[in-house]
Structure 1
Amino acid sequence: MLVLLSDDVPPLAPDGDQARRWAQEELAQPVYAAAKPTLADRIAQAVSDFFAHLFTSAPTGAWAWWVGVVAAIVVVLVVVAAFFIWGRPRAALRTRRAAGELFGDAEGRTAAQLRRAADAAAARGAWDEAVILRFRALARGLDERDIVSTGPGATAHSFARAAGRRIPSAAAALESAAGAFDDVRYLRRPGSSALYDRVLDAETATTAPAVAGATA
């Protein structure tokens, strides 16, 4: 039986040029590009191969000492490179915290900056501002010391209760300071030097030597 092949049907036995063109078209597909190792993969493989060769060649005598020194230097260089690429985890975490929310408002200042702003407000008699800023400084300070996290959604009293569990000796002062903050911030009651002192007392209670172990 005679079978006629149309012009658009590829030959069953392609010649060399046709086969090479098919291979190039196949390898140009995205699936093959995605399977190629990345630069990071190649670097990691090179480091792995280096250590594998280093410890399987089993040098002896004076060479063994030099191999150990080289291995130690390589490890140190890798650690230093990782430090500069990714940075200190805790420092990065604190940077993210400082740029976040604090009791419903965006607040990017550190505890030290908030304290200075609160002291300046108190010095000019702006007690509403001073009370609010000082309580924020108290909360941000405990967050920076990894005692209590003040993430999104935290309220003054939920923060005070959490901090009081970590520092029982300061629990009452923290609740009193949270009340002062809520009175001024949400109930619109006028601030005063007495309310400001309540927040200062709470801050002092959380930084006393007796609670130093809570900062670990």
Structure 2
Amino acid sequence: MGFRGEGALLTDGAPVDVPRDAAREAAHEELRKAVYHQNEPGPVERLVDWIEEQFGRAVDDVASPLGGGGHAALVVLLLLLLVLGVVLWRRYGAPRRAARASGLFTGAQGPRSAAQHRADAAAHAARGDWEDAVREQMRALVRGLEERTVLSPRPGRTADEAAAEAGRALPDQARELASAARLFDDIAFGERPADERAYRLLADLDQTLGRTRPVPAAVGGGTA
């Protein structure tokens, strides 16, 4: 049975109408949604291109046994999107864009001091619960800055916001603070596994910040 593309004929002369271009365009638009491009766009782009190529071939191979027509292309499209969804879910997990906006102390067990957060972090670390250890240690770091009035207490503040604000008062540690916030986000929102090294990095930075004096704000345009 011969079949090649849109408008081809079966061997008995009956026309086959498979809207391959329309189906491929639908797949193209679905595959290029922003959620699939949050991380490592290079490999994802290559995956999209490969799937588009396979889609075209699959329509040619599958449409005829299925009887041709738009139903064959739709079946192939749905199967390919299902496979892609499973691959991307296993690689990146659920989209976390909204979660990244969560406040650093959201879900914490009531107001706690920096010392209490440090103790909780150390207890989690002793059990090997590195994700919870990282979470509590980041909270201890920020709470410590609040207790020293480097930061003013503010509900809903994210790790990124805390790092940016603290970096202005502690410019020598601004880069380390930004790196710590990124590390916390990557671990807390499921994109990177926590480990002892991440916990130690935050704990060491917490100690360094405790020994660092903030830079006074400039008065009258001069440098304090």
Q: Which TM-score band (shorter chain)? A: 0.3 to 0.5
The alignment's TM-score, normalised by the length of structure 2, stands at 0.46
The alignment's TM-score, normalised by the length of structure 1, stands at 0.48
Which of these two proteins has the greater Rg computed from alpha carbons?
1
